[in-house]
Amino acid sequence: MNADLETLQKSNKTELERRGSIFNIGAPATEAVTIRDQIAVGFGDGTVRFFQSGSDPKTVKAHKGVVLSMTNYEDHVLTGGEDGRFLKISSDGNIDEIFNFGSKWVDCVASHKDTKVCSSGKTVYIWTKNKDKPKTLEHQSTVAGLAFDNKGKRLAVSRYGGVTVWKLNNNKWTASNFTWKGSHGTVTFSPDTKYIVTAMQENQIHGWRINDKADLAMRGYPSKIKSFTWVGDTPYLVTSGSSDAVCWPFDGKEGPMGRKPIVVANGGKELATFVKALNGEKAVFTGFTDGSVLLAEIDESKKPIMIRSSTGAEVSTIAISSDNSQILIGDMKGSILLSSLWADN
Amino acid sequence: MENTSQVPVTVLTGFLGAGKTTLLNRILTEQHGRKYAVIVNEFGEQGIDNDLVVDADEEVFEMNNGCICCTVRGDLIRILSGLMKRADKLDAIIVETTGLADPAPVAQTFFVDQDVADRTKLDAIVTVADAVHLSSQLVDHHEAEEQIAFADVILLNKVELVGDNDIVKVNDRIRKINPFAKIIKTTRCDAPLDEIVGLNAFSLDRVLDIEPDFLESEHDHEHDDDVTSLSFVSDTPLDMDKFQDWFGNLLRTKGQDILRSKGILNFKGEDERYVFQGVHMLMDASPMGPWPKGKDRSSRVVFIGRDLDNMNLKEGFENCKSA
């Protein structure tokens, strides 16, 4: 195996670092989402900052304590905090408090069109258009992940022991349970909505084919999987948690069952901590424990490109602007790189 | 190596009414110049209103890793990971468990979860015991025994309400269950905070503090399910392979009943001291430098648990002596 990262690291600063801007915020970057030509980043000091090429970031003092979760919602971001607040924030700094849970954390947030969702403890709260009072969905243990399918008809809720998939029919939510022993964290639907996949407390990911609840166990990782992203038309589910970006194929009837993953972007002794698809391409950005980031095609014969060199702090988030022109990389020490992806931009 | 950037976590146990909330309020309100976060149970004794207090709900998860007694606190993994993203660094974290909770899953969380182990470390298990009621609680509730058994520090609280003779009795009762915990007698939990927080009790080099005086084996208990302790000393060097076989097998098969184990080992042909300490089946072990000059190179092990008499511990340990 090539230690791609070690070879590339010898060449100091990368092209993207030379032409981009670096901001030192001083608090861990926890989440990043794209809103039009801006990238909003949540931090461990409770701020949400809106980054845009060519100008200084706009800072919104949103939460007291850590911004735990964030998603985009129309022209706004929704955030959940350690201070128990669920907020809607605009890039000009307007804060709208949707709900205050007091001393309970708001662990997860999600949205689809005009529906706003958050979880606190074992309960999921859903605000639909023009309704002040949320609909609540109860679970047997604390909710650790939320994901809508692409039509917004189904909401996957991960928890201890599996995933509850809620389906909306005639204004009524009905539950279907997908069971697998252990604690399930971040959850995602495959783009064709045939599979759901979770990152587990153990060093593995678990998936179910939705129509027959067939299990898919994807193991062999040396550490916990903190991040995954769907890449390309196949599509591949690319995951962190190993010294490479591990890419599981989800094509055909059986998906990854009985098949080996493709591994790209080798980090040598560093482990991948964050992965992010490059929209419209069969390529993925992979961030590592030392802060470096590689861009790799899902093709084991191709060499990856060094995007960011080592900073000494693990990559905690990566976001790409909606027009694919800008990339933002954030780490656990609060260093942010914002750069154009293409030379003539 | 000790990682100095790890935030120490103190686990606070004790029965309802023993004085945990008094202690937590002291930690949160006294001018000690340090920043402590406190994780409390939502069904705890009374609300404590403070920005540094986090509500938890004691969710015990079984790990899907084939280890039958491997349970962890899922809520703690989530909360500790969240707290580690704070901009301002915490000096310590205190985790309160309710009176009826078994402290084992909390302790095991620090062995099992890599993210938690990387960024935090278990500092000590502190048990607040009610000097008035402890004796009867030990009879009626096995959780009370376990809280005493697991402890590194026991605050024997409300001593002002108990006569001298009774204090001696309850002290002896605690010693039978747990020979190595430090017992501090308090009124309204008035012990100095630096005797409660920042002790590094789970650091392996602290195992060396095991006092030989406590290693007198005595077990005149009445029921087999009582928590007791047994200890052994050997001046004959041990055979490393034999010890590893015996001890590994013991933790695998009897780990459920062995609440804590600690020891300093003198292996034949090895210049360094080996130390270990365990919680149930999980164990941490390491060489710990050469033996001090002029001192006896004797091996010492301590077990705290249930049903220890039926584990052939003495025979097992004796068989590890090198020929």
User: Which of A45, A68, A103 is closest, CB to CB, to B87?
Assistant: A45
Inter-chain residue contact B64 with A181, CB threshold 8 Å: yes
Tell me which residues of chain A have a C-beta less than 8 Å from any C-beta of chain B.
26-28, 30, 43-46, 64-66, 68, 82, 103-105, 107, 121-122, 141-142, 144, 160, 180-183, 200-202, 223-224, 332, 334
The yes-or-no verdict on residue B322 having pLDDT over 60 is yes
**What does the longest C-alpha to C-alpha distance in chain A come to?**
60
pLDDT at A209 exceeding the cut of 70: yes
CA distances from A316 to A287, A306, B90 (A): 8, 17, 20
CATH 3.10.20.30 is held by the domain B7-203: no
A18 within 8 A of A343, measured Cβ to Cβ: no
* Shortest distance, CA A104 to any CA of chain B (angstroms): 6
Q: Under a CB-based contact definition with an 8 Å cutoff, are residues A106 and A64 in contact?
A: no
Which H helix or E strand runs over B14? strand B7-14
Question: CB atoms < 10 A from the CB of B2, how many?
Answer: 10
* Residue B105: predicted pLDDT: 87
Give one word for A56, left, alpha or beta, with left for phi > 0 and alpha for psi -120 to 50: beta
pLDDT average, residue stretch A96-115: 95
For B4-15, what is the mean pLDDT? 87
Q: Inspect the interface and report whether the beta carbons of B86 and A44 lie closer than 8 Å.
A: yes
| DSSP-derived pairing of the beta strands A95-100 and A85-90 | antiparallel
Could you say which architecture CATH assigns to the domain B225-318? 2-Layer Sandwich (3.30)
Instruction: Point out the residue among A28, A141, A223 whose CB comes nearest to the CB of B85.
Output: A28
Q: What is the mean pLDDT of residues B135-146?
A: 87
User: What is the per-residue pLDDT across A241-282, written as a single tens digit (0 to 9) for each?
Assistant: 999 999 999 999 999 999 999 999 999 999 999 999 999 999
What pLDDT digit, counting tens, does each position of B244-271 carry? 999 999 988 898 889 889 888 999 999 8
Check residue A210 and give its pLDDT: 96
Angle at B13 between CA B286 and CA A159, to 5 degrees: 85
Backbone angles phi, psi at B137, to 5 degrees: -65, -35
**3-class SS of residue B141:** coil
User: Residue B181: exposed, middle, or buried by beta-carbon count in 10 A (0-12, 13-18, 19+)?
Assistant: buried
- What's the token pair of residue B202? 């789970």
Cross-chain residue pair A201–B75, CB shorter than 8 Å: no
Query: Which residues are CB-neighbours of A56 under 8 A, at least 6 positions away?
Result: none
Strand residue runs (E) in A25-114: 29-35, 38-43, 47-52, 55-61, 67-73, 76-81, 85-90, 95-100, 108-112
Per CB-CB distance under 8 Å, the chain B contacts of A160 are 59, 61, 74
Residue A25 is predicted with a pLDDT of 96
Q: Which of B265, B264, B261 is nearest to B281 (CA)?
A: B261
Question: CA–CA separation, A158 vs A160, rounded Å?
Answer: 7
- Asked if A236 and A226 touch (Cβ cutoff 8 Å), the reply is no
Residues of B in contact with A69 (CB under 8 A): none
Identity of the residue numbered A263: V
Report CB contact under 8 Å: A183, B53. no
B7-203 and B225-318 in the same fold: no
Q: For residue A21, give both structure tokens.
A: 């801007």
Q: Give the total residue count for chain B.
A: 323
Nearest by CB to B82, which of A105, A160, A182?
A: A105
**Residue A44 is nearest to which of B59, B72, B87, comparing CB atoms?**
B87
Instruction: Say which amino acid occupies A191.
Output: P
- B83: which chain A residues are within 8 Å (Cβ-Cβ)? 66
Across the A/B interface, how many CB contacts are shorter than 8 Å?
A: 74
Band (pLDDT 50/70/90 cuts) for residue A131 is confident
Q: Which amino acid, A322?
A: S
CA pair distance A252, A217, nearest whole angstrom: 17
Any idea which residue has 């060396």 for tokens?
B208
pLDDT band for position A334 (50/70/90)? Answer: very high
Q: Are B97 and B60 in contact (CB under 8 A)?
A: no
Q: How confident is the model over B192-241, as pLDDT tens digits?
A: 999 998 888 877 777 766 654 444 444 444 455 688 888 888 999 999 99
Q: What residues of chain A lie within 8 A of the CB of B63, using their CB?
A: 182, 201-202
Residue A4's pLDDT is 65
Taking contacts as CB-CB distances below 8 angstroms, the residues of chain B near A43 are 87
Query: Pick from B62, B65, B78: which is nearest to A142 by CB?
Result: B78
Bridging pattern class, strands A195-200 and A172-189 = antiparallel
Q: Do B115 and A224 touch (CB under 8 A)?
A: yes
Q: Take residue B12 and report the two structure tokens written for it.
A: 């606070």
Is B57 close to A121, i.e. CB distance below 8 A? yes
pLDDT-derived band at A158, boundaries 50, 70, 90: very high
Residue among B150, B17, B37 nearest B91 (CA): B37
pLDDT tens-digit readout, B53-80: 888 877 888 876 656 567 889 889 999 9
Task: Return the percentage of chain A with pLDDT > 70, whole number.
Answer: 96
B54 versus B163: the higher-pLDDT residue is: B163
Of B55, B59, B86, the CB nearest to A65: B86
What does the alpha-carbon distance between residue A336 and residue A327 come to, in Å, rounded to a whole number? Answer: 10
Contacts of A105 in chain B (CB under 8 A): 54, 79, 82
Contacts of B53 in chain A (CB under 8 A): 103
Structural contact between residues A183 and A170, judged by C-beta atoms closer than 8 angstroms: no
Q: Quick count: other Cβ atoms within 10 Å of Cβ B182? A: 16
Angstroms from B72 CA to nearest CA on chain A: 10
Contact B82 A66 (CB under 8 A): yes
Helices (H), chain B: 20-29, 74-83, 104-112, 114-119, 134-140, 142-150, 164-177, 240-254, 313-318
Contact (Cβ atoms closer than 8 angstroms) between residue A293 and residue A15: no
Closest CB to B53 among A103, A183, A332: A103
Q: Under the phi-then-psi rule, with left for phi > 0, alpha for psi from -120 to 50, and beta for the rest, what region is B75?
A: alpha
Taking an 8 Å cut-off on Cβ atoms, the answer to whether B86 and A182 are in contact is no
Q: Which two tokens stand for residue A24?
A: 């030192």
φ/ψ of A141, rounded to 5, equals -145, 175
CB within 8 Å: B59 and A142: yes
Q: Comparing A130 with A340, which gets the higher pLDDT? A: A340
Decide which of A117 and B2 is more confident. Answer: A117
Task: Average the pLDDT over each of A60-64, B16-20, B58-62, B319-323 and give the range with the smallest value.
Answer: B58-62
Say what the pLDDT of residue B64 is.
67
pLDDT digits (tens, 9 = 90+) for A167-208: 998 889 999 999 999 999 999 999 999 999 999 998 999 999
Provide the shortest C-alpha distance from residue A146 to chain B (in Å).
Answer: 15
Give domain limits for chain B: 7-203, 225-318
Taking CA atoms, what residue in B is nearest to A159?
B74
- The alpha carbon of residue A182 is apart from the nearest alpha carbon of chain B, in Å, by 5
> Which residue in the set B75, B83, B85 is minimally distant from A30, CB to CB?
B85
Q: What is the pLDDT of residues A59-70, one digit of tens each?
A: 999 999 999 999
Most confident of the following: A30-44, B35-49, B92-106, B142-156: A30-44
pLDDT band at A6 (very low <50, low <70, confident <90, very high): low
Rounded to an integer, what distance in angstroms lies between the CA atom of residue B58 and that of residue A258? 38
**What's the rounded Cα separation, in Å, for the pair A141 and A124?**
11
DSSP-derived secondary structure letter, A324: S
Nearest CA in chain A to B83: A66
Q: Read out DSSP for A37-59?
A: TEEEEEETTSEEEEEETTEEEEE
Question: Which residues of B make CB contacts under 8 Å with A?
Answer: 51, 53-55, 57, 59, 61-65, 72, 74-75, 77-79, 82-83, 85-88, 113-115
The pLDDT of residue A198 is 98
Quick check: A201 and B63 CB within 8 A?
yes
- pLDDT for A11 equals 57
Closest Cα in chain A to B49: A103
Q: Predicted ipTM?
A: 0.88
**What is the side-by-side strand order in the sheet with A108-112?**
A108-112, A115-120, A123-127, A135-138
What span, in angstroms and rounded, lies between the C-alpha atoms of B116 and B43?
A: 24
Question: Distance, in angstroms, between B56 CA and closest chain A CA?
Answer: 8
Question: Tokens 């991960």 label which residue?
Answer: A158
Tokens of B307: 């049903």
What tokens does B92 get?
A: 């310590």
Model confidence band, residue B114 (pLDDT cutoffs 50, 70, 90): confident
Give me the pLDDT at residue A301, please.
96
Supply the mean pLDDT for chain B: 84
pLDDT on residue B210: 61
Q: What pLDDT score was predicted for residue B221?
A: 47
Q: Among A44, A64, A202, select the one facing B63 at the smallest CB separation.
A: A202
Locate A240 and state its tokens. Answer: 């962190």
Domains annotated on chain A, with CATH: 4-340 (2.130.10.10)
